[in-house]
Amino acid sequence: MRINWMRYIVFGLLLILIMAIQAEHPPVHAQESPPVLAFYYAWFDQNTWSSGQTVDLPAEQYRSADRATIERQVSQAQSAGINAFVQSWYGPQVENNQTETNFRTLLDVGAATGFQSAVDFETQSPFYGSDQAVIDGLTALLATHIHHPAYFRYQGKPVIFFWRQQRFSSQRWAEIRGQLDPNHDTIWIAEGVDLVYQNAFDGHHLYSIAWAASPAAELNKWGNRVRNYETTNEVDKIWVATTMPGYNDTRLPRADAFAVSRNNGDYYRQAWQGAVASGAEMIIINSFNEWPEGTHIEPSVSYGNFYLDVTRELVANLRNGMLPSAPAPIELPAQSFTAQAATITQLQETPDEPYLEVFSATNVRRGPGIEFERVDLLLAGSFVRVIGRTEAADWWQIESATASDGVGWVSAEVVSMVGEVEAIPVVTDELDSDAAVTTDNTPTITPMPTETPTEAPTATATNSPTPLPTDTPTPTPAPVVLAEGVVIEPVNVRDSPSTEGERVGGLYFNDPIEVTAESNDGEWWQILFAEGEDGTGWVSTMFVELNGPLQTPTPTTEASDFQADDSAVSTEDSAEIDDESATSKLDTETVATPIAETTPKIETELPTIEADTVVAQLLELETLPTYAPTATSLHEATAIALLVDYQTPVPTAMPADTVDSQLAWQEWPWGILAGLLFVGLLLYRWLRAG
């Protein structure tokens, strides 16, 4: 039998040509529905359920470190159509850090069931006592977990979400990215309201949308903003839309606690519809099990499996290319802020640009400076319109219903401005001189309400029979405790009654305090504090609560006026503990723009990265709790004993060739498969001919 070799040669050349074309122009895949993710938290145990800080309870109370619990939660998520969990992660430290050990278990469970998980990288982890520790934690993540077969990937790349990336500037993140991931082999998703971080990140999301009067409208707005950024900068970015079933953190000791009704699932459906319609590449549910903030869809005592069932329905419609039917418009109830006594200027609906996003309780003043009297107070999560600015744009003029002339001023250091600065007019009118508060900005502490001995004691510092007065030590009277109280939000302790005073330490929720003096303006209390130079320190009265009135008339202290809230949660010089479910994690879509308070630069170990100024001044690592904070307390180590039982082997870095070798034959390029088929056909015909 004569073989027509020319026919096979032509066929082979055609296959080679097809392979070459494919190598230069990969096939375009059909548009797929976006993956559905859910924020997941792994730090609960019985202390959470008995704390009284959750408005609902799980149908089956559990310990997050229990592998059987993780297996059940993964199964529930899969049954609802969720593709992956995004778990808050405090870093690679194993000792007393169940976010690490439980994440290992989560990945192993996922590998056995086909479920994926990713990290929500907490840049303010209690184990990150320095900038270098953040970089080291990210380095460890890139060397270990992202290579696990159950780690979530989008378009073939591992995805990392970030919480409070505002710790570093966008330029600093670009430097870090250039060192750790120069080829963008992973996908980094930023959060908040500042798209400038897309200079270094690959995508954007809003952690929460419960603050928005219309979640669907807000999601659409932000989807357009991300796409406008793409067009303007000629880059591709990923928009991750957030959907929520509702919100309720009123059991937490927060000054700005509020609730958004679930409306029998209608709020969830409306938010989901907005997320899908916003053109998102991914959809993320907030949350699977954030119990203290009331955003859970995990089966509960109040709702049973209802929200898992609704999720299953919504995901099925998404996969079929269907939008959920629009529920009736939801009228959100007025949000209640019970802990604030001041009159508050607050817009719950985002105004037209330009406007300010407020991240923490912020003073509004009569003029552009802290020497002007305070006329109003803005709460975290509020929006205000900008109508003017100083020439240096360091103070913004806003509308204020409580000010006599209808306007007020806010420092640019503690808010974020959305819009074009150049479009805002510069206000040059001179303000009345009597509008300024005439206080001495240099705090001077007056004696405590005890008599100070005026005569020198007989003992002298030298053997001279007639010592000079300066040689005689004057005893310092012991401070008199005027009242006792507790800390209601994490707060800095300073050496003087001013935000400009040097920070000497920090206190946390429910820490006891003993008050020994009060400042002239009533905004600062002196307390006993061992780390202070004289055994005392100063805290803002906004973040502590007394058990009763001051026992005696207090001495007064000249204090510079309160520049902005001194909460350890929301200023740059904060002593911050980022507990997703305790008082320090805010549920606005971003965090405070730090006040520019610099600290000495810290040299890093990376050869080409020069450490930036510390943006969030944390407590030194040795003074932090040695365990990961839980939802109920920053001071109780819950379920630590369980960590040993469920630890998995320490993951090791996997070389690129090892990862690539895991590809199944179905993922090989069609050109290679066709070539193998052609060779096989030739071999077959040759054997037949022989």
Query: For the segment 233-280, what is each residue's pLDDT rounded down to a tens digit?
Result: 999 999 999 999 999 998 998 877 889 999 999 999 999 999 999 999
pTM of the model: 0.53
For helices 5-24 and 670-689, angle between their N-to-C axes, nearest 10 degrees? 170
* DSSP E strand stretches across 265-354: 282-285
Structure tokens at 132: 């270098």
- Angstrom CA distances, 457 to 464, 475, 485, 611, stand at 14, 9, 36, 52
* pLDDT exceeds cutoff 70 at 166: yes
Closest CA to 545 of 278, 306, 253: 253
Structure tokens at 70: 């993780």
Closest CA to 311 of 290, 283, 280: 283
pLDDT of residue 567: 44
- Angstrom CA distances, 461 to 453, 465, 466, 476, 534, stand at 17, 11, 11, 16, 21
Q: Which amino acid is at 57?
A: L
Q: Which residue has the higher pLDDT, 470 or 124?
A: 124
Give me the percent of the chain exceeding a pLDDT of 90.
41
> What's the pLDDT band for 19 if we cut at 50, 70, 90?
low
Just give the CATH number of 444-448+476-558: 2.30.30.40
State the DSSP code for 207. S
The phi, psi pair for 86, rounded to 5°, reads -120, 105
Count of C-beta atoms within a 10 Å radius of residue 131? 26
Distance (Å, whole) CA 634 – CA 359: 22
CB of 317 within 8 A of CB of 323? yes
The phi, psi pair for 192, rounded to 5°, reads 115, -160
Count of C-beta atoms within a 10 Å radius of residue 189? 25
75-85 pLDDT, tens digit each: 999 999 999 99
CB of 595 within 8 A of CB of 414? yes
Beta bridge partners of 491: 507, 567
* pLDDT exceeds cutoff 80 at 326: no
Q: Which residue has the higher pLDDT, 34 or 336?
A: 34
Give me the percent of the chain exceeding a pLDDT of 70.
64
For the chain, give percent helix, strand, coil, nearest 5: 25, 20, 55
Alpha helices in 242-384 (DSSP H): 266-277, 306-319
> 3.90.180.10, 3.40.50.2000, 3.20.20.80, 3.40.50.1100: which CATH number matches 36-334+630-645?
3.20.20.80
- Can you tell me which residue has the tokens 């929720």? 509
Q: Say how many residues make up the chain.
A: 690
Beta bridge partners of 329: none
pLDDT of residue 372: 84
Q: Which residue has the higher pLDDT, 29 or 471?
A: 471
For 196, counting Cβ atoms within 10 Å of its Cβ (0-12 exposed, 13-18 middle, 19+ buried), the class is: middle
> What's the pLDDT band for 464 if we cut at 50, 70, 90?
very low
For 68, counting Cβ atoms within 10 Å of its Cβ (0-12 exposed, 13-18 middle, 19+ buried), the class is: exposed
> What's the pLDDT band for 420 if we cut at 50, 70, 90?
confident
Q: Where are the domains of the chain?
A: 36-334+630-645, 444-448+476-558, 655-690
